[in-house]
Structure 1
């Protein structure tokens, strides 16, 4: 009997279980499936023990190896679904292989970019053929935005932008009755150059020096350090600044209830990212009803409707937008749901369990 689901991904971090892939895993386990996570042995950054969940390492330099196909072939009798990303060079060959073995491929696109080619050019024709084959061979295609929904445009294509499982929504509901907003700007997430925390610290210092915001606002930084030297430089800058050292705090990564407490208490969550896909923290903020501001380095143009909360990808724009929002907080909260496109937020368990029932 096929009672397992295989996830194929080139690396594993424990915090993946707090993202969409983790919500899918929880939904699958709740439906009675066991889940295996197949990844490169060199890219298992953290290990994890969880009921009905196992990490399977492959000793290769890349995922598209003969060992991947051998593993799937040897275990074809136990896997009903395979969760896979479309970034592989020979994705359609892999999809065909899975279909021949009677394994159903679920494709999760994330925020992939669709290149535009001149109509009927060789590149356009190749793109269309590849798309048609992918659509034909996939069991489901899960996309993050309307552009991808229109691109694949089949009954198999489902849009899932941002969601939270019911257990997370229950935590937020429980906590929100006793937590009041504080004069806090919050950065919460991984600490590395790509996330742009250095820009937020610079902007906060400028706002204080120019006296553009209420003097009671503080900046709280909560997260896991993934680039130590980068973090050390930021910490040193804060500690050596008479302006910042009493107004900026660094705290360790939070999980579970403690994570949502930080978001619920904040007046504004800022992700000053330089470049990334659709940030999962946007869902956490939306369901906590906490304002979320980011740059156009994030792929969130379909969801954030207010340009003051979705600024240009530079420090000056961050400065102007944060100033504007902090000085108009009452108005922003009074009209909270008008700033975000609510149709992109879903309850994750219901979404995933629906097609796992097929």
Structure 2
């Protein structure tokens, strides 16, 4: 059987949900069926070492991601932007000199931000797929006019019913509607459980006080500013609890400054990046998501695998993951909503056990094998 030749494009393989999902997918598809080339704009990130050896990895640039705007970093950032744009403006150069004139059956943008790169491909006969991993309808740069361009793809993969509904509103024809396919991102349950059992010696709290944890890149969209304000308010009301935030990103210094300003250093800890956050998640009592917007919050799926009671803001994908509130609390997407969710767990002592039992008795839909099979079927049929 002739192997299907696939080009997959992504910005980097840093510690993000979309990057992890892509690598999980690559680790679970058959090298006997597919020949995969993975083209990374910036060769960096913790997931690079997890890419299977049979996948051909290409890159435009090599080096660490720059998340600050220090004066000494600006020339490097400017060069990187121009170098990548050169291949966007002159894609024939990319396909000739980097990809060695290889012909592809399928070209896949593994994240919404790569839509221009795939649509500019000089290979007009290849089938084009885009994998929308974020709530693009909440991103300022993604106007309806920009999102309409996504219908130039043969298939648009979305990771929540909300995104599918929004795409359908923009669709001009029935064919465009049918090109939008809702999928569950593949989550490796076995891998999550194994990593959660690793020993750690820097867990900040071991005093029996209820502890909330939140994990994710420290960007404004994550709402950690709101979360710290709520933590302070609950503490001032005498509701004793602790908070752990794991992650790094360009907003890290601002969040640390806010933590210090609120004088909650004893009860809230900003631990920074951890390559394996799951032991911390396992030891915490509750998971709290304060995000302003997300696509498919992979960490929520992993919290469910670890049977954690969850309070999450009403963002894209959350109703699918928490089954409309059956498996966890879905709160209004506001500071008041975050406050009410955390307060409920602190004052209603039986609520956490209720959600744990619901999770235990539910067949979670993001099973690795089913998700990978669905993705393979889409690639095979396109």
TM-score by length of 1: 0.71
C-alpha displacement of 1:107: 2.2
In structure 2, the residue matched to 1:191 is 218
What RMSD over aligned residues (CA atoms) do the two structures have, in Å? 4.2
TM-score by length of 2: 0.67
| Matched-pair contact (CA < 8 Å) for 1:172–1:260 | yes
In structure 2, the residue matched to 1:12 is 12
Q: Spell out, residue by residue over 1:2-58, the C-alpha distance to the aligned partner (whole angstroms, 9 max, x if none).
A: 67532223x32422475322222323476674442242x5xx665845534524117
Are positions 1:246 and 2:266 aligned together?
A: yes
In structure 1, the residue matched to 2:300 is 282
Q: Within 5 Å, give how 1:167-316 maps onto structure 2.
A: 167-169=190-192, 171=194, 183-211=210-238, 213=239, 215=240, 217-237=241-261, 241=263, 244-256=264-276, 259-304=277-322, 305-306=324-325, 309-316=329-336
In structure 2, the residue matched to 1:121 is none
In structure 2, the residue matched to 1:24 is 25
Candidates 327, 346, 357, aligned match of 2:367: 346
Mapped partners of 2:130, 2:280: distance in 1: 33
CA separation of 1:26 and 1:356: change in aligned 2, threshold 3 A:
farther
In structure 1, the residue matched to 2:73 is none
In structure 2, the residue matched to 1:119 is none
C-alpha displacement of 1:144: 1.2
SS at match of 2:350: helix
Give the number of equivalent residue pairs: 325
Structure 2: tracts of 5 or more residues without a match: 62-81, 139-143, 169-175, 199-205
Q: Spell out, residue by residue over 1:256-279, the C-alpha distance to the aligned partner (whole angstroms, 9 max, x if none).
A: 4xx221112221111212233232
In structure 2, the residue matched to 1:65 is 88
In structure 2, the residue matched to 1:81 is 106
C-alpha displacement of 1:321: 1.6
CA separation of 1:222 and 1:149: change in aligned 2, threshold 3 A:
closer
CA separation of 1:182 and 1:167: change in aligned 2, threshold 3 A:
farther
Q: Spell out, residue by residue over 1:325-347, the C-alpha distance to the aligned partner (whole angstroms, 9 max, x if none).
A: 23235334334475899665231
Candidates 140, 155, 158, aligned match of 1:143: 158
Q: Spell out, residue by residue over 1:228-270, the C-alpha distance to the aligned partner (whole angstroms, 9 max, x if none).
A: 43144134236xx2xx2322223232224xx221112221111
Q: Within 5 Å, give how 1:18-167 maps onto structure 2.
A: 19-28=20-29, 33-39=35-41, 46=45, 48-49=48-49, 51=53, 52=55, 54-57=57-60, 60=83, 62=85, 65-72=88-95, 75=100, 77=102, 79-84=104-109, 85=111, 94=120, 98-100=123-125, 103-112=126-135, 134=153, 138=154, 140-149=155-164, 151=168, 153-154=177-178, 158-165=181-188, 167=190
Moved more, 309-318 or 226-235: 226-235
Mapped partners of 1:165, 1:35: distance in 2: 23
